[in-house]
Amino acid sequence: MSYFDAASAAPLHPVGRQALLAALDEGWADPARLYREGRRARLLLDAAREAVAETVECRPDELVFTPSGTRAVHAGIEGALAGRRRVGRHLIVSAVEHSSVLHAAEVHEARGGSVTEVRVDRTGAVAPDAFAGALRPDTALACLQSANHEVGTVQPVAGVAGACRAAGVPLLVDAAQSLGWGPVAGDWSLLTASAHKWGGPSGVGLLVVRKGTRFAPQGPLDERESGRAAGFENIPAVVAAAASLRAVRAEAAAEAARLRELTERIRVRVPALVPEVEVTGDPQRRLPGIVTFSCLYVDGETVLHELDAAGFSVSSGSSCTSSTLTPSHVLRAMGVLSEGNVRVSLPPGTPAEDVERFLTVLPGVVERVREKLGAPVTAGGVRDAGRDHEVSGAPVVDVPAVDAAAVDALAVDALVVDALGRRCPVPVIELARVIGDVPVGGTVRVLADDEAARLDIPAWCEMRGQEYVGEEPADRGSAHVVRRVS
C-alpha cells in the first residue's frame, strides 16, 4: 500500500518512535512535582521545549505545547483578540485558511466581531497588497497560513507580516504544513503548528506568542504551560514531537529536492496521461510533497475508492467525499474545478517506484469512472456526442452521423438541461453532451441544485473555452447559463 496523504497525517518518524518509547519509561510523572520522578519529567519537558524553540527560531518561554494544532489555533486567536479588545474587534483571515481558523472566525463574528476574508488568486495565493488593504484602525488580529494544506501553495508571509507590523497589527501564522520543511520567514507575532503533520505523534500542538504581543488567555486559568494550555502535559508525546521535528529538519533539504522532482513528475505527466485535467496550485511557490489535480466528468469519491483498491491512499476536496456535500472551501475560493479532485501528498521517503506505479494506474481508474457515469469523453477529450438525449423544452434529437451543415440546421438557439436533484459531475456531463446542439452564440441553461455546480460549471467553461454567462434564480436551485463560443 502506498500512503499518499501525508498532508493529513505523516507517518510517525522512526526517531520520534524511539523517543516516544523511551519517554514512556522516563517521563510519566508530574513535571510540577519536586521529587525525583517529577524532576526527571521536568527535564524532559524543558529539553523538548528548547529543541522545538530552536527549530521554530523563537524563545523557549514564548512556546507552549497544546493538546492539538486545532486547539493551538483556537487558543491563539481567542487570546490575541482578547488581548487587543481595546483596539477593536476586527479579524482578518484569508479565504483558504484551515477550517480551524475559519471556525474560530465564525465564532468571533457570532459574538459581535467583524471578519474580513481576503481573496486568493487561481493558484491559492493572497496578494500582500490586498491583505494590507484589509487592515483597519480597529483590526485586532490577522491570520495567514504559511502554506496551503490542499494545494501546497506557499503564501507570501514575510510581505504580509511586514504590512501588519507597520500597521501595529499582530499576525498569526498557521505553520502546520510547512514547519517540518523550515522556519517561517517574516516578522510574525503568533505561530501555531501540529506535530502529526511533520511525523510526530498526534495530540501535540504548539503555540508561539512573541514577547511584546498583547495576549489574554481565555477560559479557566491553569498553572500549566504559562496558563495558555490547560491540562497535564503529555510528556512522552511532546518529547517524540521534538525529536521528530529535529530529525525531519535535518533531512529536509535533501528530501525536499527529491520530493519536488516526484511531484513535478506528477504535475507534468498527469495532464498528458489523462484527458481534461486541471492541475491546481502555484507551479513554483509550493511545498515539496503536495500536488493536486481535478478531472472533468469524474466522481471524486469513486476515484478515491478505486485508487484505494489499487493500493493508493489519497484524499480529495470534492464535495462527494465530504460530510457537508459542498466542495472544498479552498477550491471554491480559487475558482477551480472541484469534482474529481485528487490530492497527492507524499511523505518523506516515498519511493520513486510508487509514484511511477500511481501514474500507470491513474489513467485506467479515471477512464473506468467516466465510463460508469456515461461521460462524453474519448482519448482525445470531449466528443460531440450529445445527440441522443432529452432536454427540457425541446424534443428528443436523435441524429446519426451527418455533416456539420446538417447539424447546424437542427440546432436550436437555446436549450435547458434539467439536472435538479443530481450531484456533480452529472450536471457538467449533461452540459457537455448538449453544448454541440446549439449554434455558436447559442446558450444552454443548466438547472442544478448541487452546490458544486456553482464552481464546476464555470470551471468547465474555463477549461473548454466556452463563456459562463452567469447564474440566474430558478424555482428550484439555480439556472447556470453557458454560451457556446466555439
Q: Up-side HSE of residue 182: CA atoms within 13 Å toward CB?
A: 13
For residues 88 and 137, the answer to whether their CB atoms sit within 8 Å is yes
- Report which of 440, 445, 430, 448 is spatially closest to residue 466, judged by C-alpha positions: 440
Q: What is the DSSP string of 155-215?
A: P-HHHHHHHHHHHT--EEEE-TTTTTT-PPPS--SEEEEEGGGTTS-SS-EEEEE-TT---
Q: Compute the C-alpha angle 28/33/37, nearest 5°.
A: 45
Upstream peptide bond of 170 is cis (omega within 30 degrees of 0): no
The CA-CA-CA angle for residues 250, 123, 11, to 5°, reads 35
What is the b/e burial string over 310-332, where b = at least 16 CB atoms within 10 angstroms of the residue's CB? bebbbbbbbbbbeeeeebbbbbb
- Give me the sign of the Cα torsion angle 195, 287, 103, 329: negative
Bridge-based pairing of strands 478-483 and 467-473 is: antiparallel
The secondary structure of residue 225, as a DSSP letter, is G
Provide the residue count of the chain.
486
Q: How would you classify the pairing of strands 2-3 and 190-194? A: unpaired
- From the CB of residue 273, how many other CB atoms can be counted at a distance below 10 Å? 15
Cell of 154: 506557499
Give residue 204's identity as a one-letter amino acid code.
V
Active site positions, annotated: 320
Sign of CA dihedral 448, 451, 456, 457: positive
DSSP code for 432: H
Asked if 484 and 441 touch (Cβ cutoff 8 Å), the reply is yes
Dist CA 360 CA 317 (whole Å) = 23
